[in-house]
Amino acid sequence: MSYKHKLVSDAREHAEAHSGDLIHSQELRNFRIRVHKDLRGVETFPRCRNSAWVCIKGEPMALGWIGYGDYQTSKSGDPKYVVYARDVANMKYSDYTEQYYMRMAVNIDTAVKHAKRFMRKYTTDEIAKVFAGDIKRAVRQVKGAADDAYEIARADVGIKNSSYSGDADKRLMSELFNMIHAGHKFVDAELDTNIRTLMAKKKESDRFGDADIPVDFLRTYEHYDGMRVDTTRIADVMSYKTEPMYDHKHTYLAQDLPEELAGKVAVMSMCENGHFVEGVGYKVNDAMFYFYVEDVTT
């Protein structure tokens, strides 16, 4: 189980929808009061009966959550104050458990110290990595559909599935394509159409191939000098490692955003959250987007 990142908007929506059901103990209420006091700019709201999200006003990602209860897994025990944050590494538990990201304390003062130590704002690079899986899944769906259409087109021409295709099939397909490019029109109209369809479907399937698929992540946020926009690039969104590239990080005043990016924002802003547009990118929400660095059809 990896760390569970949470958008503040989603956390707040859940809390508002269950406001009458999430009654906290006095201990947790006291913990929330202390966190408000000791962590500058922080707000909290209910996550469940035993915990509350911790957020910073204006930031898109929850810093984590605090709780009061028995979160041990090996045995039942007395309730404790808990801090859940991505920087915690509780070596008493395996890194695939939720408890790995928890620091527990009997004393509220110790728990507040844990909150101050481990709860911090997300950087733009971190947010880019958090949601990269969403656009990766969308691209995979497009690629899968293109591959399926390509196999159907091969079969319509009478060429074996690409998984079993040999050099002879590749040479045949190449010659057929060369004939079409040279202006040849086959007497069999259906075959002629099928070969032209195969050419188009192969191009669509080859778009992604083994080449890297770079994307730019864009985030808009408020700053004391006005609205700002951060961008950072992921070299290959399909890679297992989606580390942003150091040489492709930029911060703009909103009015100075390059025209190309501003145009993509305008297009994707009309979409619903979580929507993917092939050839353009993916919308996380109104303030965060992923965009293809270049047209993947080239």
- Burial category of 46 from C-beta neighbours within 10 Å (exposed 0-12, middle 13-18, buried 19 and up): buried
**Is the four-CA dihedral 242, 244, 247, 250 of positive or negative sign?**
positive
284 vs 169, which has greater pLDDT?
Answer: 284
CB atoms within 10 A of CB 22: 17
pLDDT tops 80 at residue 243: no
pLDDT tops 70 at residue 295: no
Q: Measure the CA–CA gap between 61 and 7, rounded to whole angstroms.
A: 5
DSSP one-letter code for 185: -
Q: Measure the CA–CA gap between 63 and 226, rounded to whole angstroms.
A: 24
Hey, is 266 helix, strand or coil? helix
- Could you tell me if 280 and 292 are in contact, meaning their C-beta atoms sit under 8 angstroms apart? yes
CB atoms within 10 A of CB 16: 10
63-77 confidence digits (pLDDT tens): 999 999 998 876 777
Hey, is 241 helix, strand or coil? coil
* CA distances, 125 to each of 62, 232, 242, 264 (Å): 16, 7, 10, 20
List the single range of 54-58, 102-106, 166-170 with lowest mean pLDDT: 166-170
Average pLDDT taken over every residue of the chain: 90
- Could you tell me if 1 and 98 are in contact, meaning their C-beta atoms sit under 8 angstroms apart? yes
284 vs 166, which has greater pLDDT?
Answer: 284
Top-confidence range, 14-18, 84-88, 167-171, 248-252: 84-88
pTM of the model: 0.82
Q: Measure the CA–CA gap between 84 and 88, rounded to whole angstroms.
A: 7
72-115 confidence digits (pLDDT tens): 876 777 899 999 999 999 998 888 899 999 999 999 999 999 99
Kindly compute the dihedral angle of the four CA atoms of residues 97, 99, 102, 104, in this order, to the nearest 10 degrees: -170
Q: Which of 254, 264, 256, 255 is nearest to 217 (CA)?
A: 264
Q: Tokens 């992921």 — which residue? A: 234
**Amino acid, res. 258:** P
Q: Which of 17, 289, 258 is nearest to 131 (CA)?
A: 289
Residue 241 confidence class, pLDDT cut points 50, 70, 90: confident
pLDDT (0 to 100) of residue 246: 67
Beta bridge partners of 18: none
List the single range of 125-134, 156-165, 199-208 with lowest mean pLDDT: 156-165
pLDDT tops 70 at residue 59: yes
